Structure 1
C-alpha cells in the first residue's frame, strides 16, 4: 500500500511539474509573442491604416478629417510622446523656425523648455520684455492669452509667444519658489542681445583692484568667440591675474562657439564634449582647437538654474579638466542633441538623436552641472540682480544713482580667485632660487 501511495504521489508531482513548466513556457511564449507583435511593422501599420480609414469615413465633421490633417496630427503625437524636444513641424512651422534662426523675429525674450510636463522658463534674455517684467528662470507658464498651456506642445507655445513687434501677449506664470501666480502683459519686440559684456553691461572690461577680470556671456551666437577673444585681449593688456566667466542665465546657443571658448584655456586636441546616440552609435567627439593660448591664470565660472546647453558644456569641460572652479547653483540640465530632418512636402521632424557627455563622461541631460562651490540665492535676490542690469535701472533717478544689489555669487567667485592667488604667491615665495644648493641643476631641452 505504501509503495503504491509513493508511486501515485510521484505521478501527481511529476504531472504538477509538467503543468507548471507548460504554463511557464506558454507564459514566456506569450510575452515573446507580445514583444514581437509590438515591433511587427506590417501588423502595426495595418492597424494604423485601419483606424485612419475608419476616422476618415465615419467622423461626424468631415472637414476636419482630410488625410493630411490626420497624418500630421498622428505625427505630432508620435514625436511629442518621445521627449519634450522632439517635434513634428508642419511646413509653416518649419519655415518659421528657419526664419527665427536666420533673421530677426518679434518676441518677449524668454527661452523656454518642458520639465515635468510643464512649460518652464529656462532664462529671460537680457533687456527684453520678459526680463524687464521680472520673469525668472524656473517660472512656469500656465496660460497664454487666457488659454491653458496644459498638453500644449513646446513648438505651439513658442509660436504663440512670437509675433510682430508692438503686439501684446498676456501670460500667466506660476513662481515655484514663492508659490504665487501672476499675470503679465508683455509687448513683443525685436530681440537683439550682445553676447559678451563686462560687469557694467558694456564692452570696456575694466579690472578690479585685485587684477581680476570679468566677462559675462549671455548666449552663444556667431560673434561670441571673437567678442570673447577681444575681451580677453583687453583684460590681459591691463595685467589680469584672474578671470571670472559669468554664464548665469545663459540659455546656450551654438555648440562650436562653446568649443571655441574652452579652447582658449586648454591644450589643443583635448576633449571638450562628446555626443553619443542609441547603443553607443553616432559617437562624435569635439576637441579643443589650436590657436592663441592664454596665460595660466586662475579661472572661476559662474552658473545657475538658467545656465543651459552650451553654457553647461563650457562649465562641465573646464571643471572636468581642472581648469576652472565652478561657483553658483546647479545648471538647468539641457544636454540632448536634436537633429532637424526635412521632408519632401516642406515639413520636418526635430528628433533627439544623442546626448552630451563631459570629458569625464558625465551626462548633462536632466542632471545639470553641479558647482564646486554652491552659493544659493533667493528668488528676490536674483530678481533684483537681473533688474539692476537693465539700462533703465538708473534712468528713473539720475540725480541720486540707485545702489546696485550685492551679487553674493560673484563676490564668492572673487574670493575663490583671491584665495588661489594667495596660495600661488606663497608657493612662489618658498620656491628654491635657481643656482642655490637646494635647486636642481639646469637642463637643456633636446
Structure 2
C-alpha cells in the first residue's frame, strides 16, 4: 500500500516539475510510522477507557494503575531481560550497578515463610553485632514478621539513610536464643572483587562476584598485589557471576590484551548500540597461564570476559557451560523514579560468536552437584572464616574440597611444566623425561 502511494506521488510531481527532493521523501517515510503509532495509541486508549468504565471493581481500574500494568506487559513480553521498573526496583538496580547501598549489611532470604539470614556482609553493622548465617529475623522496629510479610517490604525496612537506626529481633535456631540489636545504618560498599590470594605453586586466585562501576579498578589492584607477591599463574573465578556492566567486563579483560585488540563488539538496530570495544592500555599484555572458572550461573558480562580470553587463547576455561546471556540492556530513566531496562543489542566475542541462549563451553568440563555448588558459593564469599569448627558453627556445614579449583591448579601446573620444557629445549639443553 505504502509503496504504491509513494510511486504515485513521485509520478505526479514529475508531471509538474523535476524537483522532488530527498527531504520530501524522508518526510513521507516518517509520516507513516507516526500514523501507525497514533492508531496503536488510539487502540490502547479505547481499551483503557472500556476497562475503566466497566470493570466490576472500580478501585482496581484507575487509569494510572491500568497504564502501569499495560507497560509492564508490553515491555516484559519482549524477552526475559527487558522490564518496566517501579521506583523501588529502579533504585535497587542502580545500587547493584554502583555497588553501594545504605543499610545494615545483611543478606536475607525467605524460606518456608521465615526470613533467614544468608550471611552478614563483611565489616558491616550486622557482622559487628554478631549476626550469623541461619538467624531468623522475627521483627523489624517492633513489627513482627510472618508468612504474609512481603520480602520487598522487609528489605525496604532494613535499609534507610546512613546514620539512622533500626532494631531487629533475631532467633538463633541452633541455641533457641533470642537477640535484639539496634543497629546504625551506614553506606555499604560491596566489593565485587573478593579475596585475592596466593595458592599453591605461586598461583594467584581472584574471585569476581559481579561487574559494577568499581570492578575494573578493584581487579587491577588485586592483580597488582598478586604480581608483587610473585605469582606466575592465575585463576579467575567467575562462577555464579550474574554479570553487570559491559564497560567493567572490558576493563577486567584489558590487561591481557595489546592496545587496539578487539575484546567484544555489540550489534543493535541503532548506530549507538553497535560498538566495538578494544583494549586501550599501553605496554605489553600480561603473559602468564590463566584458568577461568565458570558454571551455569556465569552470565552476561562474566561471559564477555570468558569469551574474550577463550577466543584469543589467553586462558583455559574450566567448569560447566555458562548461562548464555548474550544480550545488552540499556537503562532508561522515566518520570516518578521509574525506569526501563530494555534489550538494545547483542554482543559477540572476538571471533564473532554469539553465545546468546547457547553459553560458552569450557575447554575442561567438570560438573559439580547442586549441593557442592551451594556449599562452595558460601565458602568462596567467606574466606575470612578459616577454622573448620567455627565455619560449621556459623554456616551449618564443614568446608568441602573445591574440585573445580583443584582441577584448575592441576591444569596450571601442567602448562608451567610444559613451558619449562620448551624453554630448556629452545636453549639447546637436554630435556629430562620422567
- TM-score class, shorter-chain normalisation, is 0.5 to 0.7
1:72–1:90 Cα contact (<8 Å) kept: no
Using the size of structure 1 for normalisation, the TM-score is 0.66
* Counterpart in the other structure of 1:411: 406
1:368 aligns with 2:363: no
- CA contact under 8 A between 2:329 and 2:345: conserved in structure 1? yes
Show the 5 A alignment for 1:348-427: 348-389=339-380, 390=382, 391-392=384-385, 394=387, 396-397=389-390, 404-427=399-422
For residue 206 of structure 1, the aligned residue among 198, 202, 207 is: 198
Partner of 2:101: 104
1:60 corresponding residue in structure 2 = 56
Cα–Cα, structure 1 residues 83 and 331, in superposed 2: closer, same or farther, change >3 Å? same
Q: Secondary structure at the match of 1:162?
A: helix
CA distance in 1, matches of 2:278, 2:203: 28
What is aligned with 2:192? 195
Question: For residues 292 and 303 of structure 1, what CA distance do their matches in structure 2 show?
Answer: 29
> Is structure 2 residue 247 aligned with structure 1 residue 256?
yes
d(CA) in 1 for partners of 2:119, 2:352: 30
| 1:243 shift after superposition | 1.2
Deviation, 1:318, is: 0.2
User: Where do residues 19-418 of structure 1 align in structure 2 (5 Å cutoff)?
Assistant: 40-91=36-87, 93-95=89-91, 97-98=93-94, 101=97, 103-105=100-102, 109=107, 132=133, 159=152, 162-165=155-158, 192-198=189-195, 203=196, 205-208=197-200, 210-278=201-269, 282-291=273-282, 293-344=284-335, 346-389=337-380, 390=382, 391-392=384-385, 394=387, 396-397=389-390, 404-418=399-413
Q: Offset of 1:101 from its aligned partner?
A: 4.9
Indicate how the Cα distance of structure 1 residues 315 and 160 shifts in structure 2: closer, same or farther if over 3 A, else same. Answer: farther
Alpha-carbon distance between aligned partners in 1 of 2:220 and 2:107, rounded to the nearest angstrom: 26
Report the aligned-residue RMSD.
4.0
* Larger-Rg structure: 1
Cα shift at 1:109 = 4.2
* Residue ranges of structure 1 left out of the alignment (5+ in a row): 1-35, 112-123, 135-143, 148-156, 170-186, 435-446
Could you tell me how far apart the structure 1 residues matched to 2:156 and 2:222 are?
Answer: 34
* Deviation of 1:299 (Å): 0.9
Structure 1 residue 223 displacement after superposition? 3.2
**Please, which runs of 5 or more residues in structure 2 have no aligned partner?**
1-31, 110-117, 127-131, 136-144, 159-166, 171-180, 430-434
Specify the alignment match of 2:142 in structure 1. Answer: none
In 2, Cα distance between the equivalents of 1:167 and 1:278? 50
The equivalent residue for 1:429 is: 424
Shift of 1:384: 2.9
Q: How far apart in 2 are the matches of 1:324 and 1:260?
A: 16
